[in-house]
Structure formats: C-alpha cells, structure tokens
C-alpha cells in the first residue's frame, strides 16, 4: 500500500463514508490534475466525471485561474471582512449581482437581487439565507414564528439549519432532536410520480395518465396552510436527491404560488449555478426571480471553498437601524470575503461568460444527451435524466416495475468502483450514477465516461438484468 494511503487510513475520517469499508481497500490518492484528468500518486490517470463533487467548472490546473491566484498571492491571501473591505470581494459582489439578476424576469427594484453576503460553503450559504429570511419575516410582521417549506428528498447541506430543511431520512433522521421543524412537500420527481409517471421514456414503459401538475397543487395547498418565511428549493434539479430533473414549467408555477402567498423564495444554486444547467443560474431558465440565491461549489471554478448568499434591497433594509437598535445581522465567518477565493471567482466568471465556454458547454450538453441514449437498452437502467451538464442514471432491479435495488446491494457503489477501474471517477447517490463533466471535457473524454458507465453496469448488473 502506498505510504500516503496508509497515512490516510490511519488518520483521516472521510465525509459520508463508512470508514470500515474505507479501511478494506487501498484508497485512490489523488496528486495532480490537468483539465478533466486527475492523476494519483502511482501515476494512474482518471477522468473527473463528477467534477470533484460538482465543484470544478473549467478543469483542473487552469492557466487563467492559476495566474489569477498567483497575482493575488503577491498582494495578500486573506484579510477579514469584519471591519474591512477588500478589492476582489467588492468586484466579485458587483459581478454576482449582475449575473444573478440576469434574465430572471422583470421585478420591482426592491425585490431584485442587490446585496451579497459571503461565506464558506454551500451549507453556510443556506444558513445565511434561512436566518435572514426568518428574521425578515418576523420584522416585517408577517409571522412571529415562521417556518420553512422544502421538497421531499431535499438536501441543502450539513450544518444544523441546512439539515433542518433537508428531507433525506438516511442523512437527517439521526439528528432530529437537534433540528428545528420544517415542512416538506412532494417533489416533482416524474419517474416516481404517484399520480401519472407521464414522462416520456422507453416506448413500452408504463405511461399511464396525463400530467395535471398535481405536484404544483401540493405546494399550493401547503402554502395555504401557514405563513412560511420561505420555500427553499434547488431550481430545476435536485442533486443529492438523485439528480431529479424537474419538469419544464414546475419552477415558474411554484414560484408564482410562493410569491402570491407572501413567502420568500430561497434558491439553492449550490449545485445548479454557474452554467451547470445551461443558463448562468438555473432560475433564469424559467425567468424566476428569487429573494435569495445561494451559491458555492462552482463559484471559484472549483478551486477554493467560498460561498455567497445574494439577496434583495428589501431584505437588506430590514436589518438597517441605529447601532443601539441592534438590528445588525449578527452572523459571519473568519474567512468571509476571502481575497484568494474572490480572485479565483472573478477569473472563473471571466472564462464562464466568454463565448468560447458558452459554445463548448452547448456542444457538450448535446453530446452528453446523445451518448446517454446508449444506456436505455440496459435492463438495469430505469431512468436517464439530464439537465444541461447534469446527468443522473438511475439503476433499478426491474425497469418494468421501477423496483429499486435495496441499498444493501450497493449497486451504485459497485458500478462506480468498476468505473474507477476503467479510469473514470464519480460518486453514486444510492443507486443513481451522476455524470457532471467539467466544461473543458473533450468529446473523446465524454465518450469514454459514458462508455465506462455502460461497461460497468454490464459488468456488475448484467446486460439483461439480474
């Protein structure tokens, strides 16, 4: 075993990992990367097919990002945002507000995104939005004890507030006693829709009734029951729920219902932001204007942990007052507004907003759609979902009944292990295999990713099912 693998096994506790399993095999120790390729300490190369847990945008070791960081390092790496401003954070805040407004529909000026609160990661970006929305709702007199509404299968991070609006029992149930109560509502998961399963799929699949937007009706009914501070949602795709791509039009309908109820909309774009779903932010695909836009992961192009919560002038104003009124937003982190992170984010936005990246993403998205079609013929493939450059392939024990593999069968894990043997890295979400290629992925590399997935499914689960 490589000495670094031994050291890791002796001292490191990995996230979301059964460490008994981890100790059974030599871990892959990654040492360097270039573009979509990662290399381990033994010199074996892998394709980064989930963009290092959905963070990387333009590839590893990108010359423009490296140069931006080196320029910033010659000045200063970090100064505190408590009491001081800094150049890259100020420039970045302006860029984010402009990008966040984008084409998100016409809205009156006080409800347009106008302010940026920086933090460290996706979870903290959500904590900030939850606290702001809660306090805004109380201060504006809408409710004294407002609650939050979020989707079945929601995942918004691992800090206590973010977990409180999460609804994945496997991750969240154990901490029930620590959490505040939030309400959940049906997710628009067409593949497992109890009403109609109207999504067009295999020619001979059970397409039963027409979709009547029952899932929207469920949200509307919940919104009538109480005065929520906010509806928290991952727009267009729920990532950790299993790359659940929402049907076109759901977001717009639900956003209108939220607005009509007087609640706020918290858009968690931690995974969907920065071009992943096609537009800069997923909300913009349906011209939806959120009261809070939470971003992290791809903000720095996948280089450094940094996050931001964008919000409106109206929310900001609710925290204004004389010093001794103590209306201040009492929240912050040591690395808030980190200069290196902000420099990387500015460079990443330059690349992302350039025409070359836009064209490349469009081409990749189409190729991914075409390549994924080759998976439908496998019996263990129940659903293939894609939204922009986010794809999820759901493995099932029986595609006719859509019966899931029991988690104990570790179908997703075993398929991903077989993919790693073929030089392609991704991490399963239960029995869903995500593919989120970095935007620099070449045609050949993308073909190799899907081919490795196909071959691995056949190797582990057979061509005709097991």
Strands 37-40 and 30-34: antiparallel
CA distance 395 to 378: 10
What radius of gyration do the chain's Cα atoms show? 22
E-assigned strands of 112-263?
113-119, 147-151, 183-185, 228-233, 237-238, 244-245
- Residue (40 or 394) nearer to ligand PLP, CB: 394
Tokens of 214: 């029952």
Cβ-based nearer residue to ligand PLP, 120 or 383: 120
Name the minimum Å distance from CB 357 to ligand PLP.
22
Provide the minimum distance between the beta carbon of 279 and ligand PLP in the complex, in angstroms, as a whole number.
Answer: 17
Closest separation in Å from C-beta 411 to ligand PLP? 21
Position of tokens 């990662």? 38
- Among residues 197 and 264, whose Cβ is nearest to ligand PLP? 264
* Closest CB to ligand PLP among residues 244, 397: 244
DSSP state of 104: S
As measured in angstroms, the least distance from the Cβ of 119 to ligand PLP is 10
Residues in the chain: 466
Q: How far is CA 330 from CA 57, 128, 135, 159, 210, in A?
A: 33, 10, 11, 17, 49
Residue 114 or 299: the one with the smaller Cβ distance to ligand PLP is 299
Dihedral angle computed from the Cα positions of residues 158, 162, 168 and 172, in that order, rounded to the nearest 10 degrees: 60
Cβ 157 to ligand PLP, closest distance in Å? 3
Find the shortest distance in angstroms from Cβ 216 to ligand PLP: 21
**Shortest approach of ligand PLP to residue 435 CB, angstroms?**
15
Q: Which is nearer to ligand PLP, 16 or 326 (CB)?
A: 16
Integer Cα distance of 353 and 62 in angstroms: 16
Taking the least distance from each CB to ligand PLP, the nearer of 123 and 348 is 123
341 and 305 Cβ atoms separated by less than 8 Å = yes
SS3 call for 200: coil
Q: How far is CA 175 from CA 231, 273, 287, 429, in A?
A: 22, 28, 36, 20
Question: What ranges make up the beta strands (E) of 60-153?
Answer: 113-119, 147-151
Minimum distance from residue 443 beta carbon to ligand PLP (Å): 27
Query: Which is nearer to ligand PLP, 133 or 261 (by Cβ)?
Result: 133
CA distances (Å), 152 to each of 156, 182, 241, 244, in order?
Answer: 12, 11, 8, 11
The nearest distance, CB 425 to ligand PLP, in angstroms, is 16
Closest CB 312 distance from ligand PLP, rounded Å = 20
Report helix, strand or coil for 127: helix
Q: Which residues bind ligand PLP (CB under 6 A)?
A: 121-123, 126, 155-157, 234, 239-240, 268, 270-271, 296
Q: 113, 311 in Cβ contact below 8 A?
A: yes
Report DSSP letters for 222-238, one per residue: HHHHS-EEEEEE-SSEE
d(CA 264, CA 148): 10
> Shortest gap between Cβ of 383 and ligand PLP (angstroms)?
20
Cβ 419 vs Cβ 453: under 8 Å: yes
Q: Would you say 52 or 357 has its CB closer to ligand PLP? A: 52
Nearer to ligand PLP, 121 or 394 (CB): 121
At residue 250's C-alpha, the angle toward residues 206 and 212, to 5°, is 50
- Using CB positions, name the residue nearest to ligand PLP: 122
| Identity of the residue, 297 or 448, whose beta carbon is nearer to ligand PLP in the bound complex | 297
């Amino acid at each position: 075993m490589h000495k670094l693998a031994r050291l890791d096994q002796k001292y490191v506790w990995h996230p979301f990992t059964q460490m008994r399993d981890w100790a059974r095999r030599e871990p892959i120790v990654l040492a360097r990367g270039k573009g979509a390729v990662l290399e381990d300490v033994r010199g074996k190369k892998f394709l980064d097919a989930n963009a290092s847990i959905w963070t990387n945008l333009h590839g590893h070791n990108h010359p423009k990002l490296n140069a931006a960081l080196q320029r910033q390092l010659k000045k200063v790496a970090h100064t505190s945002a408590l009491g001081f401003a800094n150049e890259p954070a100020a420039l970045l805040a302006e860029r984010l507000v402009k990008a966040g407004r984008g084409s998100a529909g016409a809205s009156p000026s006080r409800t347009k995104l106008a302010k940026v609160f920086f933090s460290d990661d996706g979870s903290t970006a959500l904590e900030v939005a939850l606290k702001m929305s809660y306090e805004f709702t109380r201060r504006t007199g809408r409710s004294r004890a407002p609650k939050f509404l979020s989707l079945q299968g929601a995942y918004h991070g691992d800090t206590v507030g973010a977990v409180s609006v999460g609804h994945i029992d496997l991750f969240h149930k154990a901490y029930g006693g620590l959490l505040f109560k939030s309400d959940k509502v049906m997710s628009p998961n067409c593949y497992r829709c109890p009403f109609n399963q109207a999504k067009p799929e295999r020619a001979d699949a059970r397409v039963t009734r027409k979709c009547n937007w029952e899932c929207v009706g469920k949200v509307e009914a919940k919104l009538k029951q109480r005065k929520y501070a906010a509806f928290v949602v991952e727009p267009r795709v729920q990532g950790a729920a299993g790359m659940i791509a929402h049907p076109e039009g759901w977001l717009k309908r639900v956003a209108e219902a939220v607005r009509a109820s007087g609640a706020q909309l918290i858009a968690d774009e931690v995974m969907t932001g920065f071009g992943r779903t096609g537009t800069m932010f997923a909300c913009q695909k349906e011209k939806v204007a959120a009261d809070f836009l939470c971003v992290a992961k791809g903000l720095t192009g996948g280089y450094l942990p940094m996050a931001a919560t964008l919000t409106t002038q109206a929310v900001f104003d609710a925290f204004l007052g004389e010093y001794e009124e103590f209306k201040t937003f009492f929240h912050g982190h040591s690395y808030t507004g980190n200069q290196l992170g902000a420099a990387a984010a500015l460079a990443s936005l330059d690349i992302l907003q350039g025409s070359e990246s836009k064209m490349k993403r469009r081409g990749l998205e189409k190729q991914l759609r075409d390549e994924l079609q080759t998976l439908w013929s496998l019996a263990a493939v129940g659903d293939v979902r894609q939204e922009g450059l986010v794809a999820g392939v759901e493995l099932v024990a029986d595609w006719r009944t859509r019966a899931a593999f029991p988690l104990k069968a570790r179908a997703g894990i075993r398929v991903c292990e077989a993919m790693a043997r073929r030089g392609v890295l991704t991490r399963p979400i239960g029995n869903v295999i995500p593919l989120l290629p970095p935007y620099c992925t070449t045609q050949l590399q993308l073909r190799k990713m899907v081919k490795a997935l196909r071959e691995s499914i056949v190797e582990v689960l057979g061509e005709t099912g097991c």
